[in-house]
Amino acid sequence: MSDSIHPADLAAWRRAIREAVDDPDPVLANLKITRCHYLLSRALGDVLGADAGANFHSWAVWGSRKAGATIRQEDLDQARRDGTAAGGVVGTVVGLALGWLLLAWAGWPVAPAVAMIGAGCGALTGRGIIARSRRVSARLILAGNRTVLADVGTLTARFVARFHDRSDPDPGALGDFLAGVRPGPAAAGGQDLLRRAFALYFAARFAPDAAARQEATYLANCLAVYHEHVRLEPYIRGSMPWIVRRCVTKRLLQFDIGPARLAVAHDVPPLAGLAVPASLAALTNRDAVAFLAATAGCAPGDGTGVGARDWTKIRERMRYVFQLFRLRHLDPGVLGPPYGPDGLAAIAAGARPAGRL
């Protein structure tokens, strides 16, 4: 398999997606999924135009790459340390409370002693919870990884095959394409949000200028990612035990976008000191902007005040992601490959690349 697929070859796209999603090896499945997102990002970018900015799959590349770290259990040691610390704190608090209740009966020495016992038990319990939860997380995150590619990737392949060589904005062609999109809300397995997203990608394809193209692409990305996160809700919540959700959000949810390292607990850093790309400074699609504001609990802003405290809360996720997508829409790093040429070639051949991923 080469490092590209002809845009019109829908059978080849479907085959690549199916092989990635169905691979029984969790590590290889994730690597193939990441590669598929990269190929789809390039193909959709060619359809939308070189100046359209990042598309949904451009971002999905890096989300899938981050998922791979958990699937491969590369974050287990840090997670154990965080779980031990969190469990120790909870155990200490419980121990102190119990010691206080026993104070009148046993005297002062019992409170610190019970607190120490509680801390030790809590630390061991927290470490055990994390060890088990990381295994569960790896399974759930891979399931979500597969879901996103099968759901959104399949539509993107159809869109690329249908519109890669069209020069006329034929509403009938768009209608035919959208007729194959499942009706209904994302929570019920429908694709209403994706219907709106791909209508915007169509608008971007035939936009009169770069600014209009970039706005339509950005808004399409947001609708698609919200659809994705609604579908991923049970996987995300199930992968993070409630006792360590804030700790995991703060300490483990760091990710790479090209050469940049970001963290969901922090504000989104601007690109080259520019708070917002000029093309996205004043969004004109009122319906889409109102939807984003209602979904995230705030209107699209400059990336400040969006750091998440609990990644299992979808409004916090969307508040961060919508601003990330806006501020870094024109970041060349987003469009870059997740692995080097040798790594991508190895994945295409069905092998795990050498070295650290």
pLDDT profile of the chain (357 residues), mean per 10: 84 97 96 98 97 98 93 64 48 45 49 50 49 70 95 98 94 96 96 98 97 98 97 89 81 88 93 85 94 91 90 96 95 95 94 87
Q: Please choose, from the candidates 305, 348, 247, 343, the residue with its C-alpha nearest in 3D space to the C-alpha of residue 23.
A: 348
- Residue 179 CB partners (closer than 8 Å, separation 6+): none
Q: Is the residue at 1 inside a domain?
A: no
- Give the domain extent around 73: 10-348
Q: Is the residue at 313 inside a domain?
A: yes
pLDDT of residue 119: 45
Q: Is the residue at 240 inside a domain?
A: yes
How deeply is 108 buried, as exposed, middle or buried, from its count of CB atoms within 10 A (0-12, 13-18, 19+)?
exposed
Find the distance separating the first CA and the last CA of the chain, reported in whole Å. Answer: 20
- Residue 97 CB partners (closer than 8 Å, separation 6+): none
Q: Is the residue at 23 inside a domain?
A: yes
Helix axes 154-163, 171-178, angle to 10 degrees: 160
Overall domain count for the chain: 1
List the structure tokens of 190.
């429908």
Structural contact between residues 269 and 302, judged by C-beta atoms closer than 8 angstroms: no
Q: Is the residue at 25 inside a domain?
A: yes
pLDDT of residue 130: 53
Q: Is the residue at 231 inside a domain?
A: yes
Q: Is the residue at 344 inside a domain?
A: yes
Structural contact between residues 322 and 222, judged by C-beta atoms closer than 8 angstroms: yes
Structural contact between residues 31 and 67, judged by C-beta atoms closer than 8 angstroms: no
Q: Is the residue at 357 inside a domain?
A: no
Q: Is 25 left (phi over 0), alpha (psi -120 to 50) or beta?
A: beta
